[in-house]
Structure 1
Amino acid sequence: MEIMLGTSMIFAGNFVPRGWVGCNGQMLSISDNQAIFSVLSNTYGGDARTTFGIPDLRGRAPVGTGRGPGAQVTVNLGDKLGRDTIALDLQHMPTHNHSASFNPQTSPGSKLSATATTTVNAANGKGSQDDAEGAYWATPQNGSRPATDSYAGTKTTRMASDAVEVDVQITGSGAGITGGTVTVENNGSSVPFPVWQPTLGLQYIMSITGIYPSRN
């Protein structure tokens, strides 16, 4: 069976057969290979004046051109896509946690002290009523009972709410946490990981002789 010019295939041998070249990205002379140049042009390299390139399939797998259903990338003839390894960006990583530590800054505080001031309110003059309820202390009217009769051993009523005032002032500060720093530990090592599929090394070769392909 005669092979068409420009046909590429896998060859399991350790040499390149006569009339073929290895698909290794090498440059060929246009003047010496005008037929195959007219098929390939400079799609795979070269200046298209004196040289042209052969497809480089070393470590690569061929893929159909165009954009199939569900595909995300449009592949043009001669495109080189993909990579051996890849490193994930933050937006591509799964949700995860990091360990964190808190280093507090504390204050020893100071001794608390309280000062209480008691004010006893009274009327500056003689009293006008006998009942202590809702009233203030006052000087007895003339002819009243002696002062000793102004007191009793039990309480029976309530004087005015502001008859006795107590003002308490507390000074000082208590100990506690006044600040600190939070340290979030790093996770991972940012090492790229391989994305190779299981492979077997074979040789791609291209025919540079044979039947010239018709476009019709």
Structure 2
Amino acid sequence: MDNFIGEIRLAGFGFPPKGWALCNGQLLPVNQNQALFSLLGTAYGGNGITTFGLPNLQTRVPLGMGQQGGVNYPWGQAGGEAAHALTTAEMPAHTHALTGSAGGATALGPANNLLATPAAGALYGTGTDVSLASSSVGPSGSGQPHQNMPPYLVINYIIALVGIYPSRS
């Protein structure tokens, strides 16, 4: 099976065969790879005069170019992140329910019990409203990034340096 110049394949071995290179972002000389440069240009790096870059698919997942959900994904764009720290703005609106009972309390201590109507007398007296300490109610969590990767298997992406020049028709 003949390959096209610039074609990318998966390889289950740890090296690129003759006429192929790893998709690791390396810069190649334009004067030694003119056909491939005419296809890739500087989409993946290089100065476009003496060098051009190969796609860097190390620790990346390829994504087909196009538009989805009003977001444009142009050819050569890289994005995403391996770890992410969620902010409250990224969370959907939600509430945390407080469980209680209108029935009478049967225990004096709060451990392992619900809020309930006291068995006898008033649990709280009348008084003035006060602000609770910020540590008693409010956001929690450390804000540390978490891994953002599904299960994976490491394999090599290789790109053809030589082969059939693809036609546009």
Which is greater in Rg? 1
2:134 aligns with one of 151, 160, 184: 184
Which structure has the highest strand share of the two?
A: 1
1:75 aligns with one of 67, 73, 76: 73
Partner of 2:44: 44
* Compared CA separation, residues 179 and 213, structure 1 to 2 (3 A): closer
Unaligned runs of 5+ in 1: 98-175
**TM-score when normalising by structure 2:** 0.73
Matched residue SS, 1:36 = helix
Alpha-carbon offset, residue 53 of structure 1: 0.4
Alpha-carbon offset, residue 179 of structure 1: 8.6
* Compared CA separation, residues 198 and 178, structure 1 to 2 (3 A): closer
Aligned counterparts of 2:131 and 2:164: Cα–Cα separation in 1: 77
Aligned counterparts of 2:95 and 2:79: Cα–Cα separation in 1: 31
Partner of 1:109: none
Partner of 1:27: 27
Correspondence 1:103-118 to 2 at 5 A: none
Aligned counterparts of 2:90 and 2:163: Cα–Cα separation in 1: 49
Task: Please give the per-residue CA displacement for 1:83-132, whole angstroms capped at 9, x wherever unaligned.
Answer: 111111112235356xxxxxxxxxxxxxxxxxxxxxxxxxxxxxxxxxxx
Alpha-carbon offset, residue 31 of structure 1: 0.6
2:164 pairs with 1:211: yes
Partner of 2:15: 15
RMSD in angstroms over aligned alpha carbons? Answer: 1.9
Give 1:23's aligned amino acid: C
Correspondence 1:61-100 to 2 at 5 A: 61-68=61-68, 71-93=69-91, 95=94
Matched residue SS, 1:38 = helix
| Percent of matched pairs sharing the same residue | 38
Partner of 1:201: 154
Ranked by relative contact order (alpha carbons within 8 Å, sequence separation 6 or more), the top structure is 2
- Does the Cα contact within 8 Å between 2:87 and 2:143 map onto a contact in 1? no
Aligned counterparts of 2:160 and 2:90: Cα–Cα separation in 1: 43
Matched residue SS, 1:182 = coil
* Compared CA separation, residues 3 and 178, structure 1 to 2 (3 A): closer
Unaligned runs of 5+ in 2: 97-125
- Does the Cα contact within 8 Å between 2:11 and 2:155 map onto a contact in 1? yes
Alpha-carbon offset, residue 207 of structure 1: 0.3
**TM-score when normalising by structure 1:** 0.58
Aligned residues: 136
Aligned counterparts of 1:207 and 1:90: Cα–Cα separation in 2: 45
